């Protein structure tokens, strides 16, 4: 995975992104009116945020409504640990993966997966287990998802304003 440089966001950037999080189809005109700036300012800020990789615009689906019935978190132990990057790269390319991270503690990787059903999930976990370097997996199935969202930018703005 390529690391993208952190872009310093100011208050206006946070406000623009917050508007888009509320409604990803909100027009530049509406955002400009809400924030009391010109449409050109919104357009140039938006384009910069897109170009530097700070945001991307996607259609986000409700997984349950489109047919994903099985969600899980899979903890993966790698041996030797020097295989972690290779295993992570392989797993990250699979379409079932919605989140993948290196972790501290008992496991080396955490994989969140969305599958059509439990048979699909079982095949997916087997696919992980068969990778060279995977020593062990531990799967926790999510029976019901109560919240699935992007992070609230106000959490950053509050700490950003404190200095």
Whether 16 has a pLDDT exceeding 80, the answer reads yes
Token output for 62:
């409700």
Instruction: Clarify whether residues 69 and 122 are in a common domain.
Output: yes
Instruction: Clarify whether residues 136 and 74 are in a common domain.
Output: yes
Main-chain phi, psi angles of 81, to 5 degrees: -60, -20
Instruction: Clarify whether residues 132 and 90 are in a common domain.
Output: yes
Cis peptide before 105 (omega within 30 of 0): no
Residue 107: domain span: 63-142
CATH of the domain at 35: 1.10.10.10
Token output for 21:
């999080």
- Reduce the DSSP state of residue 135 to 3 states and report it: strand
First and final CA of the chain: distance in angstroms?
Answer: 31
Closest listed residue to residue 119, CA positions, set 76, 75, 70: 70
Instruction: Clarify whether residues 71 and 47 are in a common domain.
Output: no
Q: What is the pLDDT of residue 6?
A: 55
Q: In the chain, how many domains are there?
A: 2
DSSP structure class, residue 86: H
Task: Tell me, yes or no, whether 15 lies in a domain.
Answer: yes
Task: Tell me, yes or no, whether 147 lies in a domain.
Answer: no
DSSP structure class, residue 102: E
Instruction: Clarify whether residues 39 and 109 are in a common domain.
Output: no
Token output for 163:
């200095």
List pLDDT tens digits, range 27-58: 999 999 999 999 999 999 999 999 999 999 88
Instruction: Clarify whether residues 20 and 82 are in a common domain.
Output: no
- Reduce the DSSP state of residue 136 to 3 states and report it: strand
Whether 161 has a pLDDT exceeding 90, the answer reads no
Whether 129 has a pLDDT exceeding 90, the answer reads yes
Task: Tell me, yes or no, whether 156 lies in a domain.
Answer: no
CATH of the domain at 118: 3.30.70.920
Instruction: Clarify whether residues 73 and 98 are in a common domain.
Output: yes
Instruction: Clarify whether residues 69 and 21 are in a common domain.
Output: no
Instruction: Clarify whether residues 48 and 96 are in a common domain.
Output: no
Task: Tell me, yes or no, whether 161 lies in a domain.
Answer: no
């Amino acid at each position: 995975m390529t690391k993208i440089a952190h872009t310093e966001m100011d208050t206006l950037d946070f406000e623009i992104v917050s508007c888009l999080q509320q409604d990803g189809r909100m027009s530049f005109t509406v955002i400009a009116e809400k924030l009391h700036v010109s449409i050109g300012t919104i357009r140039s800020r938006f384009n910069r945020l897109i170009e530097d990789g700070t945001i991307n615009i996607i259609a986000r689906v409700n997984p349950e409504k489109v047919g994903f019935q099985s969600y899980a978190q899979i903890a993966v132990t790698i041996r030797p640990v020097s295989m972690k990057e290779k295993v992570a790269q392989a797993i990250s390319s699979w379409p079932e993966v919605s989140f993948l991270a290196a972790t501290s503690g008992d496991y080396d990787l955490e994989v969140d997966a969305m599958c059509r059903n439990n048979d699909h999930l079982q095949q997916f976990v087997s696919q992980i287990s068969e990778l060279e370097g995977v020593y062990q997996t531990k799967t926790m199935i999510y029976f019901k998802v109560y919240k699935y969202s992007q992070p609230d930018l106000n959490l950053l703005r509050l700490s950003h304003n404190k200095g």
